[in-house]
Amino acid sequence: MSTTLTPVLSRNWDQPDSFTLAAYERTGGYQAMRKALRMEPDAIVQAVKDSGLRGRGGAGFPTGMKWGFLPPNSPKPRYLVVNADESEPGTCKDIPLMMANPHVLVEGIIISAYAIRSHHAFIYVRGEVLHVIRRLQQAVAEAYQAGYLGKDILGTGYDLDVVVHTGAGAYICGEETALLDSLEGYRGQPRLKPPFPAVAGLYGGPTVINNVESISSVPSIVANGPDWFASMGTEKSKGFGIFSLSGHVTRPGQYEAPLGITLRELLEMAGGMRKGRDLKFWTPGGSSTPLFTKEHMDVPLDFESVGAAGSMLGTRALQIFDETTCVVRAVLRWSEFYAHESCGKCTPCREGTYWYKQMLRRLENGQGTEEDLETLLDLSDNILGRSFCALGDGATSPVTSSIKLFRDEYIAHITEGGCPFDPAKSTVWAGEQ
């Protein structure tokens, strides 16, 4: 497998006008759409299946298979919904993609909607990222003016309308059914499944919900063929993806590479750890995935390998922490986030994340006991697999993995009466006063 960078979605991010229609067409933009509109919709679905594209929003479900779940004989309109509610702490790939190259998403929407025989598409964006919303609205308006959206696209007889919908800033709306409730004007809370969105989704109609990066990958598959896409990555995790490196690295940013690349290789491209520091722990897929340590630097970053090593690839949000970081404090901050963002619909998540926050605050301040660690693990067992959606499950990941990997550090908070990483007394910070 090649371990060099594979700039496809990010190829033209360095151009000052990369977000405009003119710049996108200058590099072959919307040619894949023209090719797709001459194909049978089922042929596009099959091409996406053959490519091996898996959902880039975290779950990694095969995209073409997801499209194939739509009931063939439903009398209700079909909908395509793009999940652009990027909210996971550490995840920062979709927002720069939409800022620098919004037209690849628009082109992907046109092709995908045509493939599933939909005439209505929605882009659900976080309300906080006003600059991204404006850029998407500009790109959609340019596509309408060019005749790529609206009635009788390029004289093919195919109609498609795209709406950019602004969310209200709720992490729970990244969960696909809560997103649908929000789109319909209700409070965003997860729905009971079944029925699944493919059968009864937006307004009760068959609905496909895909991540920004998933949809944006479709034009390159149509343009270059499924074999081209499948030639990258690993046997079961094919293609390329955007890896977001943040934290204590020399050059944080977006690195588009084949799935299966390792953190060691990515760190080399990013200039290594900051100031010669050593890696302590990291997340392979955002804060809701179990922690990895220095021993996991050579784990191939694909769905199967990361899962076999005890974590999840998720959104490829690699948060990097060096030895100056208190793991208890980091887990506390994440737990405060999940407690704040819990929608409150189910008891395990609503109560469990609250008690996480309370107990971890006590431990971080040196007021906890060893018994608290066992209580945290017992609490995790009562959240995991019992919450209504994946928010509760994700909240347990940093807690349980950090206790497993850094139990001594938790004990040190108890025996030393506070955080041993306090710069005023820590030997880790020696020489930096």
Provide the whole-model pTM: 0.93
For position 421, what pLDDT does the model report? Answer: 77
- pLDDT bin (cut points 50, 70, 90) of residue 4 is confident
Distances in Å between the Cα of 256 and the Cα atoms of 135, 144, 190, 316 are 22, 30, 32, 10
- How far from 374 is each of 129, 359, 371, CA to CA, in Å? 40, 11, 5
What is the full DSSP assignment across 161-222?
EEEEEE--S-GGGGSHHHHHHHHTTS---PPPSSSPTTTS-GGGS-EEEEEHHHHHTHHHHH
Distance separating alpha carbons of residues 206 and 413, to the nearest angstrom: 52
Mean of pLDDT values over 135-161: 97
Q: Which amino acid is at 61?
A: F
pLDDT one-digit tens code per residue, 40-53: 999 999 999 999 99
**Which pLDDT score, from 0 to 100, does residue 433 have?**
35
Position 420 scores a pLDDT of 84
CATH number of 240-322: 3.10.20.600
Instruction: Report the C-alpha gap between 110 and 162 in whole angstroms.
Output: 9
Q: Is 90 exceeded by the pLDDT of residue 427?
A: no
pLDDT at residue 430, as a whole number:
41
For 366-380, how does the pLDDT look when each residue is reduced to its tens digit (9 = 90+)?
999 999 999 999 999
What is the spatial distance between Cα 64 and Cα 48, in angstroms, rounded to a whole number?
Answer: 5
Average pLDDT over every residue of 5-11: 93
CB neighbourhood size of 124 (10 A): 23
What average pLDDT does the structure give for the chain?
94
Cis status of the peptide bond prior to 300, with omega within 30 of 0: no
Confidence band of 424 (pLDDT split at 50, 70, 90): low
Pairing of strands 161-166, 292-293: unpaired
* CATH number for region 327-425: 1.20.1440.230
| Structure tokens that stand for 74 in this block | 């439903």
432: pLDDT confidence band, cut at 50, 70 and 90? very low
> Predicted confidence band at 116 (pLDDT cuts at 50, 70, 90)?
very high
Q: What percent of the chain is modeled with pLDDT above 90?
A: 90
- In the CATH scheme, what is the homologous superfamily, with its name and number, of domain 21-231? NADH-ubiquinone oxidoreductase 51kDa subunit (3.40.50.11540)
DSSP SS3 for 150: strand
**Same topology for domains 21-231 and 327-425, yes or no?**
no
> Of all residues in the chain, what percent carry a pLDDT higher than 70?
97
Instruction: Supply the pLDDT for residue 429.
Output: 42
* Mean pLDDT of the 407-413 span: 95
| CA gap 186, 190 in Å, rounded | 11
What is residue 103's predicted lDDT score, i.e. its pLDDT?
98
Judging by beta carbons within 10 Å of its beta carbon (0-12, 13-18, 19+), is residue 365 exposed, middle or buried?
Answer: middle
Distance CA 77, CA 399 (A): 43
* Predicted confidence (pLDDT) per residue in 16-29, tens digit: 999 999 999 999 99
Q: 118: helix, coil or strand?
A: coil
pLDDT, tens digit, 9 for 90 and up, residues 30-83: 999 999 999 999 999 999 999 999 999 888 899 999 999 999 989 999 999 999
The C-alpha atoms of residue 227 and residue 240 are separated, in whole angstroms, by 13
Q: What is the DSSP string of 255-294?
A: EEEETT--HHHHHHHTTSBGGGPPEEEEESSSTTS--EEG
Domain segments of the chain as ranges: 21-231, 240-322, 327-425
Q: Which tens digit of pLDDT belongs to each residue from 307-345?
A: 999 999 999 999 999 999 999 999 999 999 999 999 999
| pLDDT tens, residue by residue, 276-318 | 899 999 999 999 999 999 999 999 999 999 999 999 999 999 9
How confident is the model at residue 423, as a pLDDT?
58
Q: What is residue 1's predicted lDDT score, i.e. its pLDDT?
A: 40
235 in Cβ contact with 293 (< 8 Å): no
CA distance 246 to 318: 6
Mean pLDDT to the nearest integer, 264-268:
95
